Amino acid sequence: MQLKTKIDAEDGRQELRISRKFELPLELLFKAYTEPEILEQWMGTKVLKLENEKYGSWQFETTDPRGNKHRFSGVIHEFVPDRQIIRTFEMVGTGFGVQLEFLEFESITEETSRLDMHIVYRSAELRDQYLKIGMPRGLSMAHDRLQEAAEKYK
């Protein structure tokens, strides 16, 4: 089955370009990335901190089926409501390093919108590790859940 979230991973490069179209108005798509209540539903993660502002920071935590806790965190370099978030991202305590993420939100029609993500990694090897652990499929499934969860807030 083809994934709805498209990932462009050029060989040997330390970046990924990701694009997903949602059947959601732009404002609601942006809320799904910034309001803890919606975020927690589709990411399956607990939002410990989410300062939606320039120079803010964020921390999420997930508990895996074995009960182990995993922490994700970063800082927000830029925050433009309904348009752009530039942030760092790290899976804390793993060897995956710190990456820089550019998220651009765009309206297509009144009822549809698009998210374009550009992720820059410290190395091509680290990027490839993410691909290897199934990140494309995982992200697309998470976005499927986002669509479903956000619909309830229409």
Nearer to its own copies among residue 51 and residue 148 (C-beta): 51
Q: How many other β-carbons are positioned within 10 Å of the β-carbon of residue 103?
A: 18
- Measured from the CB of residue 50, what is the shortest distance to its own copies in angstroms? 12
Q: What are phi and psi of 71, to 5 degrees?
A: -110, 135
- Residue ranges that bind its own copies, judged by CB under 8 A: 13-15, 55, 57, 74-78, 86, 88, 90, 98-100, 102, 118, 120-122
- Measured from the CB of residue 58, what is the shortest distance to its own copies in angstroms? 9
- Measured from the CB of residue 65, what is the shortest distance to its own copies in angstroms? 29
Nearer to its own copies among residue 47 and residue 100 (C-beta): 100
- Measured from the CB of residue 75, what is the shortest distance to its own copies in angstroms? 4
- Measured from the CB of residue 28, what is the shortest distance to its own copies in angstroms? 26
| Token representation of residue 50 | 């989410």
Nearer to its own copies among residue 57 and residue 147 (C-beta): 57
Nearer to its own copies among residue 45 and residue 99 (C-beta): 99
Nearer to its own copies among residue 30 and residue 121 (C-beta): 121
